[in-house]
A and B are shown apart, each in its own frame.
Chain A
Amino acid sequence: MTMKNPLAKTAVLLAGMYVFLTWILPLFTAPLPASLIYLYLALTVAAAAIFYTMSGAGLDDFMGPIGRFLTGEGHAGATGTARLVVFALFPLLVGWQTYAKLAPSDMPPAENRTIHPAPPGEFVGLANPFPRTPGNIATGQGLYAAYCSPCHGGNFDGKGPASVGFNPPPANFSDPGTIAQLQESYLFWRIKKGGVGLPVEGMPWKSAMPRWEKELTDERIWKIIMGEYAGAGQSPRTWEEEE
């Protein structure tokens, strides 16, 4: 049996899109948020409606079944019952949605943390004063192992033995979205001043990053930065690339 009715085709297309977006797409990439799936489905419906209602005949084909369903014309027996069930369910769904929006929730207010806020002016554009020699890198990696790896991990992946339970979690330096996107001067600021040095949008009251200037000299911090990039297999962002 071939389906000629445009409404039925739209419904099948919609179901196919839902299955694709919900179950098939996540096999290849991160799952989509529910709100985005509904947006895509709404766009599918809108596109189908425009496509099928371009002509008068198409409009009748598309809207006719909907109109007959709503008025009950030609609906007897089982389809008549189905029609009444749909009519009864719709107000209940609206009522339930209203309740869900108004009922007391255990979800606290949303917090929008800026992960890499702008550093204070005195740190912008600082360059690592130490040459990138094997000796300096080795010194930096030794210091990293002692001071940083418990949280940021021996593999530079943010999964050190003490990392579990922190919110926000320790940064994963092997991720191309962290230190590879930043300049050495940015790391110097974040290591030196720690979580408490963040501006308000960085939510300094939550970060467990120590204020290392209390315990480490500038020289040691610069060498740690060198060892961190080398160990994570990343390169710092430089001014040249910005232009």
Chain B
Amino acid sequence: MGRERIVNVALGAAVLAAGAGAVPALADESTPAAGAGSSVSIRLHLTDEALPGADPYAAAWDTIRPSEFQLAPQVHWPDRIQEVTVKSVKVRGMHNGEELAMLLEYADPSEDAADAAALEFMVGERKAHFAHGQEMLQVEGGPVNIWYWTHAAGNAVDMSAKGFKTLRPQTQQDVSATGAWRDGVWRVVFSRRLNTDDARDVRITPGEWTNVAFAVWDGQIVDGAVKEQGSQKAVSSWWYVRAEPPPDASIYGYVALGIALAAGFEWLLVRKIRRGNAA
């Protein structure tokens, strides 16, 4: 019987190992990489509540785990900058099916009138270059929609661009923003309807991925001049944002079906072996 016991232990160990192996494998596939600046996407969490669109420090924000993205100096075109103040941004988002709110949080040692931050989105089906949708030589690119918040204005401007020197405020303004600086940290919340009737605006459809990028300007006065302004800013590459789709109950149906099929398979297998042994 000792031999049987060894076999049983081995079988049990194999099942446990398979299960334990599956845990990290599944986790790798379904969650963005953790750690500073290594996120790949932002989830706009679906909520029934009113959005804290005007309050960057609302308690609701602290219930959401932020995504974090690294920023780089803007070296793509003149005037370049080699070093920037803000090295990364934390981003949280929520929506209620009608409106969305996105919170940008970043460390900035000083509160300055010229401090500013922006979100950039691709608009439409064509991919746009992250530098204001500038012209690509072999690929027909699309336009971008930029939400540009400045501390001085205390609000955001809804803008469009397709290439350098084309950035303009839109005639129809759909975005609002509120910023608050506390203890060396800016929190800026942008809000807008998920969809507007303006073809130049990004459309946010729950369940669909949209490309987003970030920019931050440190408006500190150094030697009589604003440290970062215009093209001299901290920028990110393109990342992804998706508004969480409404819960889909059919998933649980498929889970139940999977469990039933597996249990049925077990039962059939045991029955077949028992009949074979009896014969």
Chain A residues in the interface with B (C-beta under 8 A): 1, 3-5, 7-8, 11-12, 14-15, 18, 34-35, 37-38, 65-75, 79, 82-83, 86-87, 89-100, 102-109, 120, 150-151, 161-168, 193, 195-200, 203-206, 208-210, 215
Contact A8 B2 (CB under 8 A): no
A196 to B254, CA, bound (A): 45
**A69-B11, A98-B258 given as contacts; is B4 within 8 A of A74 (CB)?**
yes
A162 to B235, CA, bound (A): 11
Q: For the complex of A and B, list the 9 residue pairs with the smallest distance between their C-beta atoms, beginning with the closest.
A: A165-B72, A11-B10, A165-B70, A91-B262, A98-B258, A167-B237, A108-B240, A94-B262, A95-B259
Is B274 positioned at the interface, with any CB of A under 8 Å from its CB?
yes
Q: Which residues of B contact A7 (CB under 8 A)?
A: 7, 10-11
CB < 8 Å neighbour of B238 from A34, A91, A94, A205: A205
As a 0/1 sequence over residues 125 to 138 of chain B, the CB contacts with chain A under 8 angstroms (1 = contact) are 00111110011111
List which B252-279 residues lie within 8 A (CB) of chain A.
Answer: 254-263, 266, 269-270, 273-274, 277
A157 to B129, CA, bound (A): 26
A79 to B2, CA, bound (A): 12
A209 to B137, CA, bound (A): 13
One of B25-33, B107-115, B151-159 at the interface:
B25-33
Is B95 positioned at the interface, with any CB of A under 8 Å from its CB?
no
Q: Which residues of B contact A198 (CB under 8 A)?
A: 136, 138-139
Contact A108 B242 (CB under 8 A): yes
As a 0/1 sequence over residues 226 to 244 of chain B, the CB contacts with chain A under 8 angstroms (1 = contact) are 0000000010111010101
A167 to B38, CA, bound (A): 11
One of B12-20, B52-60, B179-187, B192-200 at the interface:
B12-20
CB < 8 Å neighbour of A70 from B21, B242, B270: B270
CB < 8 Å neighbour of B137 from A69, A98, A197, A206: A197
Contact A103 B30 (CB under 8 A): yes
Contact B209 A4 (CB under 8 A): no
Contact B82 A161 (CB under 8 A): yes
Q: Which residues of A contact B76 (CB under 8 A)?
A: 195, 208-210
CB < 8 Å neighbour of A87 from B22, B78, B245, B266: B266
Q: Which residues of B contact A208 (CB under 8 A)?
A: 72, 75-76, 130-131, 237
Contact A18 B17 (CB under 8 A): yes
Is B222 positioned at the interface, with any CB of A under 8 Å from its CB?
no
A210 to B77, CA, bound (A): 6
**A8-B6, A97-B22 given as contacts; is B75 within 8 A of A150 (CB)?**
yes
Is B66 positioned at the interface, with any CB of A under 8 Å from its CB?
no
The CB with the most chain B CB atoms within 10 A, among A12, A74, A108, is that of A108
List which B65-95 residues lie within 8 A (CB) of chain A.
Answer: 69-73, 75-78, 80, 82-83, 87-88
Contact B13 A90 (CB under 8 A): no
